[in-house]
Structure 1
Amino acid sequence: MGLLPLPLSLLLAVVPGTATTLPAPIESSGRPELQDSLASPAPMTQEAFDAVLLEGGIPELKLACDDSARFGVDERLQLLRDRLMAVAPSPQTFDVVMANARALISCKAPDSAQVVLGRYGPGPGPRRREWLLLSWQAASAALDQERIVLALMRLADGDLARLDSEQLIVGIDDQGIASTRSALDLLAAAQIASGQSEQAVISLLAGRTPGAVAARRLGLAAELLDAIEPERGASLIEAALDQAAAVQAWNHAEDLLRLQLRLELASGGSGERPRERLKRLATRVDDRFTLMELEQDLQGMSVEQQQLLEQELRSPRDPGGHAALGESPVPEAGGPGIDVQP
């Protein structure tokens, strides 16, 4: 797994997308066929792939995994997975185990990555944190909700609140910009998906971020608690409404009042109180679609008709629309405010 022999280095130099790692002799050779190969959006040549599979170490195998995954060459991915499982047998150093697991994730083999990670058990400290984050990444790639919960609970180390500020990358867009989510929200989502609703409520209530984030979490906790402790769920909705009102997040407030209305109707209540509160709020933020929804029966309309009606009446993305109101951070002194209380 040291330096590659020269022939393999030359072969990898012409893999599409690796121009920034070209050795100087190739880069300055002036050979047009090499430059054309660098610009060509094509998979690694069979000759280069065979050489990597036979002689390559973990970095080269990962490069081949990235290339094969990019172009959807599944038969190569399987060969690379098998090679990666055998290229660095246990025992290995922490760095080798982590590199091996990352390469397997690149090869779309997250379950195998978990196996490799199991070859090393780091003690407390930075290495354990790095190991747990990669364990979470592998579990997420495998959609293994129970392993996601396990990794994040271990990362919390008995203090769920510390996950609130832990932002984990959940995706990369076409421009290469990372999309992140709070580890606490990811934990709650995995707990819900694995049927651990009561534990999810505990996680949601451990958050310390106020405002719209707190409103969303409290509303979700209330919905989860409705079948277990309806009275406590109702109080959480009220707390969520307070958080939403504090930052003028009226779109969140409307969603919470809709939830309150739905839960009350489901329990056999009249729904009069949350309906009136929602109507009053919708009036003040000029949400005409919600007003029409409350005043008329829209059940007979198709989804497309409702969406068109909402676009015509509500237009939340237009300047001054109610979605924009939801982003107002602080009420102006002496402003009219929105009373979400009865």
Structure 2
Amino acid sequence: MPSPLYMPMRKLPLRLRPGARSRGAVIAALAALLATSGATAVPLSPAPLPVAAMAEPAFRAVLKDGGLADLEQACQDAARFDQAERLRLLRDRLLLVRPVPQPFAVVLANANALLSCKAPATSLLVLDRYGPGAGAERDQWLIQVWRGASAALQHRRAAEALTRLAAGNLASLETIALPLLLREDGTLATRPALDALADHLQILGENEQAARVLLAGRLPGKIAAERLARAAQLMASLPLEERDRLIEAALDQAAAAAAWGLASELLEQQRLQAQSGGGDPSRALARHLRLSQRIDDAYGEWLLRRQDPTQADRSRALERRLRSPRDSGGHAAPPP
């Protein structure tokens, strides 16, 4: 069946720049990091959380003689029960418990414990005690630096860590899933390093650089469409024609993935972009209306047509088709 967008589909080039590292090396580095943070063997059914904080005698014993694993567990306990004084004592202890020099694995474990202790800036101090060599060890160190800098809202350092991780090949970052948090169901939430780098650069006000990062991605489909659309928004200084070409490429990718809801959003972005940039929004509006009719999006078509006084009859007809949440089959519970 022809595309409801009535446009040819082009595929994004899947070129890799010279010097690109294998995905296997990056994934191995991430797996090693997760092993350090204790997240490799993620339980499907996590153990029940304690109903009371650690007793004072047990806390004092851990503070005095506990190892890194004991101190991290105490940090998690204190954070869970919002015990600020215990967190402060544990942070101070973690800075002293393993003085330099230490093996790399110990440095990572110490930094991770400080993250658990809600001290991301202090975790960076511990990481700075160590100078990693090239290879997987350096990748693990950079990812841990990113974790600390991101949690401490040090966006410049977080962006620098991810840029160094890319080693001149930004496209490689989309194959690296950065660990964010462990969900309550025991699964690990992640984010592609490419999108995380664009986030930090946008927060720093470097919108055009953030857009260039997004355009370095090579994965096709919906994720490509979303990145292209975001790049078009960020590159506000570009001529309207060039931003429009980005939206067209995004529409191609959305159509190839049959992501019609996203395609509808892209056409609305294109219309508003033309309207604010002094262009003609009528073409994007007409295409949006055609798409809404083809995918039977009565609500979307009604939103567009109600703005045109000449479409009053069609708007009323569409409005009658829109089902109230309280009607039978709507979101409300059925009557007893």
What TM-score do you get using the length of structure 1 for normalisation? 0.74
Separation (CA, whole Å) in 2 of partners of 1:39 and 1:134: 26
Local SS of the residue matching 1:180: strand
**Mind listing any 5+ residue stretches in structure 1 that lack a counterpart?**
1-37, 299-308, 320-342
Separation (CA, whole Å) in 2 of partners of 1:176 and 1:226: 41
> Which residue is equivalent to 2:198?
188
Q: Which of 270, 281, 291 matches 1:271?
A: 281
> Which residue is equivalent to 1:235?
245
Q: Which of 103, 115, 133 matches 1:105?
A: 115
Q: Which of 259, 267, 275 matches 2:269?
A: 259
> Which residue is equivalent to 1:248?
258
Matched, 1:174 2:184: yes
Separation (CA, whole Å) in 2 of partners of 1:54 and 1:291: 67
Matched, 1:203 2:209: no
**Mind listing any 5+ residue stretches in structure 2 that lack a counterpart?**
1-47, 309-318, 330-336
Separation (CA, whole Å) in 2 of partners of 1:56 and 1:50: 9
Deviations, residues 7-49 of structure 1 (Å, cap 9, x unaligned)? xxxxxxxxxxxxxxxxxxxxxxxxxxxxxxx996211100011
Indicate if the aligned counterparts of 1:185 and 1:204 stay in contact, CA closer than 8 A: yes
Superposed displacement of residue 183, structure 1: 1.0
Indicate if the aligned counterparts of 1:205 and 1:217 stay in contact, CA closer than 8 A: yes
One-letter code aligned to 1:141: A
Superposed displacement of residue 57, structure 1: 2.4
Matched, 1:137 2:147: yes
Superposed displacement of residue 297, structure 1: 4.3
Superposed displacement of residue 216, structure 1: 0.6
Separation (CA, whole Å) in 2 of partners of 1:157 and 1:270: 42
Superposed displacement of residue 69, structure 1: 1.1
One-letter code aligned to 2:195: D
Indicate if the aligned counterparts of 2:142 and 2:165 stay in contact, CA closer than 8 A: yes
Separation (CA, whole Å) in 2 of partners of 1:229 and 1:124: 42
> Which residue is equivalent to 1:71?
81
One-letter code aligned to 1:54: K
Separation (CA, whole Å) in 2 of partners of 1:68 and 1:238: 52
- Which deviates further from its counterpart, 211-220 or 138-147? 138-147
One-letter code aligned to 1:79: L
One-letter code aligned to 2:216: A
Separation (CA, whole Å) in 2 of partners of 1:62 and 1:241: 48
Separation (CA, whole Å) in 2 of partners of 1:140 and 1:212: 26
Matched, 1:215 2:225: yes
Separation (CA, whole Å) in 1 of partners of 2:323 and 2:75: 50
Superposed displacement of residue 170, structure 1: 2.1
Indicate if the aligned counterparts of 1:205 and 1:218 stay in contact, CA closer than 8 A: yes
1:117–1:39 distance in 2 versus 1, CA, 3 Å: closer
Q: How does 1:297-312 map to 2 (within 5 A)?
A: 297=307
> Which residue is equivalent to 2:130?
120
Local SS of the residue matching 1:168: strand
Superposed displacement of residue 257, structure 1: 0.6
Superposed displacement of residue 91, structure 1: 2.3
One-letter code aligned to 1:84: L
Local SS of the residue matching 2:175: coil
One-letter code aligned to 1:145: H
Identity of aligned residues (%): 46
Separation (CA, whole Å) in 1 of partners of 2:190 and 2:278: 40
One-letter code aligned to 1:187: L
Indicate if the aligned counterparts of 1:289 and 1:313 stay in contact, CA closer than 8 A: no
Superposed displacement of residue 282, structure 1: 0.7
Separation (CA, whole Å) in 1 of partners of 2:239 and 2:155: 25
> Which residue is equivalent to 1:96?
106
Superposed displacement of residue 313, structure 1: 5.2
Superposed displacement of residue 107, structure 1: 0.1
Moved over 4 A (4+): 311-315
Local SS of the residue matching 1:207: coil
Number of aligned positions between the proteins: 268
Q: Which of 156, 169, 172 matches 1:159?
A: 169
